[in-house]
Amino acid sequence: MFAKDWRAERRARHAVATLVLFAVTTLVVASLALGPIGATPGERSDVAAALLWILLLFAAAAGLPRAFVHEEESHTATALRLAARPSAVFAGKLAWVTSLLCLLEAIAAPLALALFDLELAHPARFAAALAAGGVGLAAATTLLDAIVAQGRGATTLFAALAFPLLVPLAVLAVAATRSAIGGGEGAEAVLQLVLYDGSIVVAGFLLFPVVWNP
């Protein structure tokens, strides 16, 4: 599953290009808009953490909900249903979406730090927050994408379903990232984020067979 999606991506270069361009453009626009204000490093670290996660959330909503919608649109979903077990399909799609998000984070996070001129107080916590937030984001979007792929107006519906589910994740991820940049207490937020991830991933594996097979 994972290899197939990357092969398709290598041929079409649709998702990666869209996501990276979206991330770079948003960050440049934000830093241009916020730069002249003359914010203190403390204010900048608060803004950068929130902005980074808003960017990742919107990138996930704009570029990622193609995992299953694309399969349904190109009528390859039936072939997939016959070829692999549901858990394998979900694991493969989850790995593909996670890898895409990690790639996006690897580009967006250093760029955000550079453009906002910030130093990291806890580099390990920063990486942990990005990784845990990324996995949760990937798991939630993959499961919801499988649900909306079978309905009408998938993209709008996806946004309506995804945002409430992603709010707890975003709040925790922003708290963890902010503390990683600016210092202060925040290890607890990373732990809560991992717990939220765990629940969503387990729910994904349990619910996916029902969602996937008519």
**Closer residue to other proteins, CB minimum distance, 27 or 53:** 53
Question: 54, 168, 191, 194: which one contacts other proteins (CB under 8 A)?
Answer: 168
Q: Is 192 in the site for other proteins (CB under 8 A)?
A: yes
Question: 48, 97, 148, 181: which one contacts other proteins (CB under 8 A)?
Answer: 148
Residue 68 CB-density burial (10 A; 0-12 exposed, 13-18 middle, 19+ buried): buried
Alpha-carbon distance values, 202 to 102, 168, 186, 191 (Å): 20, 17, 25, 17
Determine the interface stretch with other proteins among 13-21, 106-114, 123-131, 155-163 (rule: CB under 8 A). 155-163
Question: Who contacts 115 (Cβ-Cβ below 8 Å, separation ≥6)?
Answer: 27, 28, 30, 31
Residue 108 CB-density burial (10 A; 0-12 exposed, 13-18 middle, 19+ buried): buried
Q: Is 95 in the site for other proteins (CB under 8 A)?
A: no
Nearest-approach distance from CB 185 to other proteins, in angstroms: 12
Q: How far is CA 12 from the centre of its chain?
A: 21
- Residues 79, 42 contacting (CB under 8 angstroms): no
Burial string for 3-41 (b: 16+ CB within 10 Å, else e) reads: eebeebbeeeeebbeebbebbeebbeebbeebeeeeeee
Q: Is 161 in the site for other proteins (CB under 8 A)?
A: yes
What is the x/- site pattern for other proteins, positions 10-49, by CB under 8 A? ----------------------------------------
Q: Is 165 in the site for other proteins (CB under 8 A)?
A: yes
Q: Is 164 in the site for other proteins (CB under 8 A)?
A: yes
Nearest-approach distance from CB 192 to other proteins, in angstroms: 7
Q: Is 75 in the site for other proteins (CB under 8 A)?
A: no
Q: Is 53 in the site for other proteins (CB under 8 A)?
A: no
Which tokens belong to 14?
């649709």
CA 180/CA 187 separation, integer angstroms: 9
Give contact residues for other proteins (rule: CB under 8 A).
143, 147-148, 150-153, 157, 160-161, 163-165, 167-168, 171-172, 175, 189, 192, 196, 199-200, 203, 207, 210-211, 214
